[in-house]
Each structure stands twice: as structure tokens, then as C-alpha cells.
Structure 1
């Protein structure tokens, strides 16, 4: 080392004379080279110790396989037919009904081309007596475990095989070291990267490789994320620098898998057609409607966790995230199809919060809430997703799309009305009208009337007329008259006139005259004859009044006259 340091010193002197920059000359500092040399030596000692332990594990394999532990296994095998999807690690799904469901929910399974590859390999183990390793890889929540589970149950004859699912590296090592593990046994390694990482992962890979080299039938099913598969199968950086190869056994095991099946991240058009053909699964229907780019399985799995996170967010600071998400979903439900700007969400959120919650908000409440709403569950879906730029790279700044989940919120109308007010300020007063009809259909008449009046004040008066007609058709003339009065105050006198005609048909001449006079006092103008105004309290508001002699008394508010019954002739003296 000292000779090398002297050589480097000479090079440094020549570099200084050649006017090399101080930063470059610092690379030729002999003291630094001594420190680097010491670091390399320490790393080599660590690598040598790791290699010694790995060699010892390999040397012990023969003895391990001939020693049968006396104690029972901590995670004993059970027949395949006794294992459920939940016990094997399948993600629960959204229900699709808009309600919280008890228990474990999985939708109907939609077969895709990769499923045949998995099932054919399992059939080889069943019929050919082979020892088989199946690696099912893909992104998060793409359906890896579900695909393996469905294959296990689809291949006839595997139901009576034993299956063991260890939950730790120690449990997996214990299972492989136990000589009582008979043929016709399945080792289930869900998220296998957790088992194959680190020093124990190397030992486990060596044991698995040894077991698979023996006659079968035996089966190892491993699921793994794509990113981890790439990490565990790439060449070791330490080996490239002359150190020990710390992933040698893992890389050999995965490289010699009987089959490696990759799950695609999205449903292709043929897959979606098969999904649509099922037709009777609410969870699949919701996922089909709300998933972007065909990412059905991600919506099914991540949607449930998003819903749970939303349902539990009642206290600060989580309640602020809930307010943003609720405002975004209400906007979508009311027909807002454009991207949601962050300014809209900031202004809408207070309407969904109590006074105490708003008081507790800090100065950075919005930034914190928005960051939480954009945090992806299972690395695949967030409540608020960024939108790509129409051209070029990156996301549009300050706008978001809501991950659509079908749900109905009970109560909490104030926040939705706040959102409608903001929509009206954005030159979309129809939001009030849409929300009024939502409340009317839900039977909440008072809220419907209030929102319809707000719609009229915002320049959308027809909602009051439509609600009045709805009440009249239902036979609620009192409620219809109340709405008609509100409509008249907003400048729409037509409902009062139609109600007057309906009163005449019902024989209530005094009521008809009163409504005609109300319309006249409001100063309306337009329709010339009530007989052309279809309306009826039960069927149609058909305005022809027959067999009733009428006289005129002043101008009718619609350009004609106010009609009232002719006074009877005076009694003879």
C-alpha cells in the first residue's frame, strides 16, 4: 500500500504543476487512499465471514435432511381443501353494494391467458411426478395470489395434497428441514421476496434448490413483485467488485424455476369482455366503471382500503383529507366532469367540517390533507390522482381526478350544499338543481326546496317549477302551491297558473280564483288561455274547464283574463 501511496503522490505533484483544479487534485490525496484501502479490507473480511456461513449452511444440508425434529411443526400442513382464499393471502375486495359488508369478500374470478400457464404447470406436478417451482410475478394488487389460488382449486386432484404456508423465514426453514414432509406437499410462499431476502434467504434458497432436485411430486408456489424479482435475480454488486456473491443461491433458484408467469397490470379488451359477460357481480361492475386503463384488480383490492381509511377519518388531521375527498366525490356525483382544481377543493372543504374541526386546523392543513389524499394504497391507487399533461411529460399542476367509488353518504348535506354554491360561483348553477333533485328523490323535501330556491337565485329557476309539478302529480297540492309561490317570487308564474287550473278541475273554484289572483299580483305575462296549460293533480294538468260559465274580471297575468264563475241571477222578489 505504501508503494501505491508514493506513486499517487508523484502523480499528484505532476498534476499540480499541470494546473489541475484543486477538486481533481484532491482525488490523489494519499491519506484518502489509505482510508479507502482500509474500508475495502473491512468489507472483504465481512464478505469472507458471510461466505463461510453460507458454505457451512450448504455443508449442513446432508445432515439436516437426515435429522427429523421431534417437536411438531409450528406451522403444520393441512389439505388444500381446508385452506381459504383469506388464509392464503388473497386481498379482500370492495363489495360493490355501497355498504359495509361483514366478512371476507372476493368477486367472481375472470380467467385471463396467464391462468392457463399456471394451471398447466400444476398439472405437470400432479400427473408427471415432478418437483415443480411456480413463480407468479407482477405489480402490486395485480392478482398474483388470486391467480395461484384459483389454479390450485381448478386442477382436479390437488384438493387432498398437503399445503403449508409459513409466515416467517424461520417457519419456512423449519418446514424444509423437516424430513416428515412427504411427497404431494405444496409449499406456499406468498410475497416470496420476504422469505428470500438477507442471509436466511440464501439459506432458504439453498434448501429449496436441494428439495426441488429430488423426485416428486412436490410443488412450490411463490408470488413476488416485479421489482423484487428484478432485484433478486440481478448480478450482485459485491461479486462484481471481487467480493462474495450474497444472492448466488436465490438467483439460481429463481433462474431455474419450472415456470415464471407474469401477471399483466391491466385487463385487455378480451378480458374486459369476459368480465362483462359475468354481468351479476356488483364488485366487478363498480371496478369496471371506475377503473382507469383497465386496472380492475387494483381497484378491487385498493378500493377497500381506501374506503376503510375514509370511514375512519373523523378526527384532525385525517378529517381534513376526508373533507377534500368528499367534496371531490360530490362534485363527480353532481356531474362535474372536468379536472378538480386544488383551489376548488380548498374552498369546498370547510363545508364538510364542524366548527371544532375547522378551529383545530393549522396553517398547513390543506397541503397535509392533499398529500394524504394523494398517497397511494398498496402503491396502486389514491383517493385523488394526478392527471397527465395532454402533451409531453409530467402531471398537470394543481388539478386532480377522484378515484370513483360507488357510495351514498347519509346526512352531511351542508358540505354538499357548500360544494354546490362553489359550483354556482363557477358559472354552473345547475349544480344546485341537480342536488335538489337528489334530495327530492331521497324524500328530503325541505332540503330539496331550499336547494331549488338557491338554484333560482343563481339563475336556474326551472327547478322550482319541476318540483312543483312533481308534488302535484303525487297529489300534494299544498306542497305544490308552496313551491309555486317560491317560483313566482323568482319570476316564474307558470306553476301558479297551472295549479289554478287544477283547482278548477277539482271543483275548488275559490282556490282557483285565489291562485289566479296571486299570479296576477306577481305581474306575470305570457300564456293567453289556461286551457292550453296541461296539468292535473293526479294524471295530467289538462286545463279545459267545461260546463262552467265564466266571466272575466281584469287582466289575466298571462295576457288574457282572470276567470271566475258567473254570479247566479238574483232571486225573484
Structure 2
């Protein structure tokens, strides 16, 4: 039976190619000309005519028949015979060559699973070895549904699941983890992407053999293609409903905006651009949440406690909002954007922001402060090449998001304070900038021994207005022996009502013998609620012989 099938397929393919080649000779067309007239790639045409090439797709045959003025029905009949899969052996083992390869032949990064954390970069492009480390996997609710689809496929029932979620929520990783049981059963996986995703899918979906996972990651590139999307949806549907071609499992991922676009009904009277796609996706999408719930966070914490350093690191930043996968996915690219910026000015701004955060400035940084602070982070050559719009260009570069919708330095508006009984503080009129958490944490380690340049301190004194920020920087300047800047920053903080700065100024006055000036500063600090100032006043009054005054101050403290 097998020999008869092979002979029939081979004969049909040979006749198909022979008729095409003869007509090409009569038409006196070279393959480049033929490809241009048929609207196909030259490689596609060459493979269609080559004795050693794969069976061409039905669309390729039809396009060539039209150009060469051959009867398409006859050629397509030969094509169906040549491309018909045959099955022999246990569990429907397929002996015909289909697209794809064994699942274990892929690494997760081959299939577009985002690298996680700042680990080493792959040295090669595919296969086992050299791939960047992945964190332990935390199973969530959608994983149970995926596991059911995989079990159905293993039992012989074809199916499709399309995971819908925002960027870097773990959709592709979930698919990768789900198919591992099929790897143990000898399944293959096909990821169509060359020459384009849509073209590869359309040309070879008819060649998919049983026990194949069809991997449609970022399915908008397939189903949303203007030229081929509807035809791809039809071909996938035909694959799923043809018992002789199964079992197969189709896995895809989509962002919510694409899923909505493809599934919403068109307005009355307008063209229905996605009717076949809508039918294919109906009841087959699976939502993936943006954040880990409490159960998933607990599971991640358990893995971290057992030595998973990537998860442990991510949880230091993402435990509160649960966006663990976004943090893991964004970290490598954030670090790359810092080390390899398009412009030196962008790196200077990031380093100024890193220094500000590690030395105690609040998370919302004024753009004017960073712009002035960044100047001395540039070498003389880079500084000489600055254009008038360098800051605007650099900020635009740093606002471009990476995986997980994170940006190295993004604009933000601080929320108003609502602490009772203090009155609410209105939001700043000027938007502020916020450094990505991962880069902030990286800066605290990588730059911990570095002292900011003079432009940093000057910009802080000129532009920062929060008394706590100024006092924190005064302390940082003093510990780094930038004593004049420490003095000026502390004065600014004291003038704005920072009690710690007032207390420190009082200590300096007292040490210089100006007891009256020291007491005035301490009383100002005490009136603002500084208990240490009351205690020091009591000590100074007792030292001056005013025991009653000291007792009053002590009781007040």
C-alpha cells in the first residue's frame, strides 16, 4: 500500500512539474520574469519547478497556471494527488514529509519566547545550547485550559487555542510549556515565518501532517494579513475539520486589540474584512491576565526561595503589582537600551536619573533637572556634537517602550496626596519622568562607588524643590566630601522646611559657638514636629543653667 501511494504521488508531481516546465519553455520566460508575472517569490517558483523541491502550494500552482495559460483544474487535480499525505504504522505515524521538525529540536527562544533577566545572550541562532536561561514556570488558570487542549490532541482530536493578552504576559511561554508532553510522543512543530509569516503559512498549510503543532505566535501577522489573512483562516479551518489530516494542534497568540478587531461584527453596510477569521476564533480564544494573582505570586515566591534567582530578582520589583512576566521580559532590553543607546545624550540622562534615585531623590524627576544634570556625564567630544534639540531627541528615544510596555525613562504625572488631615496637594503642572525600576536597581549596584559630577549637584540645587530630596542629596554630598554643595543643598532644604536639615544646621551653629542661632533653628524644627530638636533644646537649656526651661522642653518632647 505504501509503495503504491508513493508511486502515485511521485508520478503526479512529476507530471505537474513537467507540464509547468514545458509551458515555461514555450513562453520563453526565465524564472525571475515568471515570478514577477505570477506575483510570487523567485525562490517559490524555483522550488515549484525543481525536481528536488517540495510540493508547491495550491496557490502557487494556480498562479503559475494563470500566467502560463494552462487549465488550472487539471493542474490542481495533479497537485491534490501529489500532496496527499499517507499514514502507516501505530498511532497514525506519518511517513509523508510535512513542514516543521521534532519539538525537541527547538529551544523556546527559537519560538519567540522572550529572554528573561540580564543573563548571557545566546551565542548561536537556534538549537539547544547557548540559549538564555529561563525562570521557573508558574502555572496559572489558562495553563489548565491549554493542558486540556494538549490532552485532546494527544488522544487524537484536533484543536486550536489562541491566547489573548497584552505584551509580555507569558502567552508564548505558556504555549511552549503546554506542548512538552507532545514532544515525548514524537510530535513535530511547524513555525511558518519565511519569506513572510503569512506567505509561509498559506503556501504550506496544505502540507501539514498528523501529529503536528502549528505555531502561530503573534497571529496578527497571519490572520490579519490584508492579502492572505482570510485564506489562512480558511486553510486552518479545513485542516482542523479534515479527520484524515489529524490530529493537529494549532496554537496562537494575540494582543487584545487584534482579537477585538477580528471578532467584532462590522457596521451595517460596511465590508466584512475578517469573516473567516471571526469564525475560526469563535469560542477558541483564551484570556491571559496581565498580572499574577496571589496564588501565582505565592508559587513564584516558593520557586525564588528554592534558588530561582531570576524570579527572586523580579519579585523585588513586581510583587506589589504582580506584573512579573513583564518585568522578566523587559529587563534584558532595558539593559541593552542603557548600554547601547542611539545617542550618548540618552545614556547621560539615564545615568543622571540613576544617580538621583540612588542618592535619595523621589521617583518623579523634573525634566529640567535631568537635562542640566546630564551635561557633565558627556565627554567633550559628545558635548561638542550636541544639537539644539538634543534633549528632546534623547527623551523621545528613552520613552520608546520595550517588552512589557516598559520604557527606560517615561513621562508620568504624580498622583495627588490625600493623607488626612493635610490638604491635598495638586498635581505638578509639569509632567515628571520616571526611571524604569529595573534600571534604577541596576544603577544602585553598578554605580554605587561613583560620585556624580558637578553638573548634577548644580542642577539639583537649581531645579529640585522637595525639601526631603534636597536634604537627602545634602547628606550624600557631605559623605562624598562635596562639602560646599552639601552646605548649599542643606540651606535650600531648611528654607523649604526640612526639619532634618534645620537640625543639622543647628548642630553646625552650636559647634561654631553660635548658641542663639542654633536654638532659633532648633525651635523652628521643633515647631515643625521634630522631637529630636526638642530634646537637643532641652539639653542646651540645661547646659546653660535653665533647668526649668529644660524640664518644660523635655515634657513637651
Per the normalisation by structure 1, the TM-score is 0.60
TM alignment of 1:390-539, pairs within 5 A: 390=415, 397-405=430-438, 406-407=441-442, 408-409=445-446, 413=450, 415=452, 418-423=455-460, 426=464, 428-431=470-473, 433-434=475-476, 448=480, 450-451=481-482, 455=486
The CA distance in 2 between the partners of 1:73 and 1:89, in whole Å, is 28
Q: Deviations over 1:161-212 (max 9, x none)?
A: 011111122221232222xx43111111111110112221211111111110
Secondary structure class of the residue paired with 2:116: coil
User: Does the CA-based 8 Å contact 2:117-2:332 persist in structure 1?
Assistant: yes
Which residue in 2 is equivalent to 1:13? none
* Cα distance change on mapping 1:273 and 1:242 into 2, 3 Å: closer
User: Does the CA-based 8 Å contact 1:79-1:162 persist in structure 2?
Assistant: yes
Q: Does 1:87 align with 2:110?
A: yes
Which residue in 1 is equivalent to 2:51? none
TM alignment of 1:180-259, pairs within 5 A: 181-196=208-223, 197-215=225-243, 216-236=246-266, 240-241=268-269, 245-255=272-282, 257=284
User: Does the CA-based 8 Å contact 2:329-2:404 persist in structure 1?
Assistant: no
Q: Does 1:304 align with 2:346?
A: no
User: Does the CA-based 8 Å contact 2:359-2:472 persist in structure 1?
Assistant: no
The CA distance in 2 between the partners of 1:229 and 1:61, in whole Å, is 34
Report the CA distance between 1:278 and its aligned residue: 1.5
Report the CA distance between 1:241 and its aligned residue: 2.2
* Cα distance change on mapping 1:68 and 1:86 into 2, 3 Å: same
The CA distance in 1 between the partners of 2:97 and 2:508, in whole Å, is 79
The CA distance in 1 between the partners of 2:121 and 2:101, in whole Å, is 32
Which residue in 2 is equivalent to 1:375? 400
The CA distance in 1 between the partners of 2:386 and 2:371, in whole Å, is 13
Count of residues in Structure 1 that have an aligned counterpart in Structure 2: 391
Q: Which has the higher helix share?
A: 2
Which structure 2 segments of 5+ residues have no match?
A: 1-58, 64-71, 86-94, 124-129, 418-425, 492-506, 516-557
The CA distance in 2 between the partners of 1:61 and 1:175, in whole Å, is 15
Which residue in 2 is equivalent to 1:124? 152
Secondary structure class of the residue paired with 2:179: helix
User: Does the CA-based 8 Å contact 1:133-1:220 persist in structure 2?
Assistant: yes
The CA distance in 1 between the partners of 2:157 and 2:428, in whole Å, is 50
Which residue in 2 is equivalent to 1:171? 200
Q: Does 1:105 align with 2:133?
A: yes
The CA distance in 2 between the partners of 1:359 and 1:417, in whole Å, is 18
The CA distance in 2 between the partners of 1:523 and 1:351, in whole Å, is 39
Which residue in 2 is equivalent to 1:77? 100
Per the normalisation by structure 2, the TM-score is 0.61
Which residue in 1 is equivalent to 2:375? 350
> Cα RMSD between the aligned structures?
4.0
* Cα distance change on mapping 1:415 and 1:353 into 2, 3 Å: farther
Report the CA distance between 1:61 and its aligned residue: 8.8
User: Does the CA-based 8 Å contact 1:132-1:219 persist in structure 2?
Assistant: yes
Which structure 1 segments of 5+ residues have no match?
A: 1-52, 438-447, 461-489, 495-521, 526-573
Q: Deviations over 1:429-457 (max 9, x none)?
A: 542544676xxxxxxxxxx4x44675467
* Cα distance change on mapping 1:285 and 1:337 into 2, 3 Å: farther
Report the CA distance between 1:359 and its aligned residue: 2.3
* Cα distance change on mapping 1:524 and 1:400 into 2, 3 Å: closer
Which residue in 1 is equivalent to 2:168? 141
Which residue in 1 is equivalent to 2:5? none
The structure with the largest alpha-carbon Rg is 1
Q: Does 1:364 align with 2:379?
A: no
* Cα distance change on mapping 1:110 and 1:493 into 2, 3 Å: same
The CA distance in 2 between the partners of 1:73 and 1:125, in whole Å, is 20
